[in-house]
Amino acid sequence: MARASLLAAFWRQNRLVPVLLLVLLLINTGLQVWRVRMVRPQVAQLRQNLERQQQELERMRQLGARQDSPEAVYRRGREDLSRFYAMIPANSDLTGLIEELFNMAHRAGLEIDRIGYDPQKLEERPLLAYSLMFSVSGNYEQLKSFVYDIETSSRLITLDEITLSGAGGGDRPVLLNLRFTTYFHADPT
């Protein structure tokens, strides 16, 4: 009963303070309910997204992926393009390529009768694309060795078409038709 009389006396003295305390208590309770129902799930979702992004970043680091600035990517691309153009020989080196092909064939025990070629100027690039076509005949091992030499050549060569014809059993020859493309710098005009 002493408590009840104490609260009654406090109420009679200053009614504003208990009302203000009650309002603050209700606001605090409302904010707590809002935090639990609205904010906490959003924070949990954001935390999951952050953890997922951190795991992805760590995975990219482990794979050696680089996150370079656009300027660095552009600079690296320009450097790669410069190295690429440096690998392309002058148009006058076509005879050197043909000589290399004859040497490769000779090493494999094959003989090339003739090589046909068709130069095409590439639009928007100072390059000529030469399409070369020829045939050789020999046993399968010789042909395989010859194609390997072409593929591992230091020149930029793309094998466009390879066809084999004939039965290659025993001593019977197999005919190999090759068509590939290589690139040269166009002569300045």
163-174 pLDDT, tens per residue?
Answer: 988 765 666 788
pLDDT at 106: 92
* pLDDT over 80 at 2, yes or no: no
pLDDT tier at 6, thresholds 50, 70, 90: confident
Note the pLDDT tens digit of each residue in 41-99: 888 888 899 999 989 888 877 766 555 678 888 888 899 988 888 888 988 888 999 99
Note the pLDDT tens digit of each residue in 112-134: 888 998 889 888 888 889 999 99
pLDDT at 4: 75
Residue 178: burial class (beta carbons within 10 Å; 0-12, 13-18, 19+): buried
126-135, 136-145, 169-178: range with lowest mean pLDDT:
169-178
Contacts of 116 (CB under 8 A, 6+ apart): 132, 133, 134
pLDDT at 102: 92
pLDDT at 174: 86
What DSSP line would sit under 20-89, residue for residue?
A: HHHHHHHHHHHHHHHIIIIIHHHHHHHHHHHHHHHHHHHHHHHTT-----HHHHHHHHHHHHHHHHHHSP
| % of residues, the chain, pLDDT over 90 | 22
| % of residues, the chain, pLDDT over 70 | 91
Q: What is the mean pLDDT of the chain?
A: 84
pTM: 0.57
Per-residue pLDDT averaged across 173-187, rounded?
Answer: 88
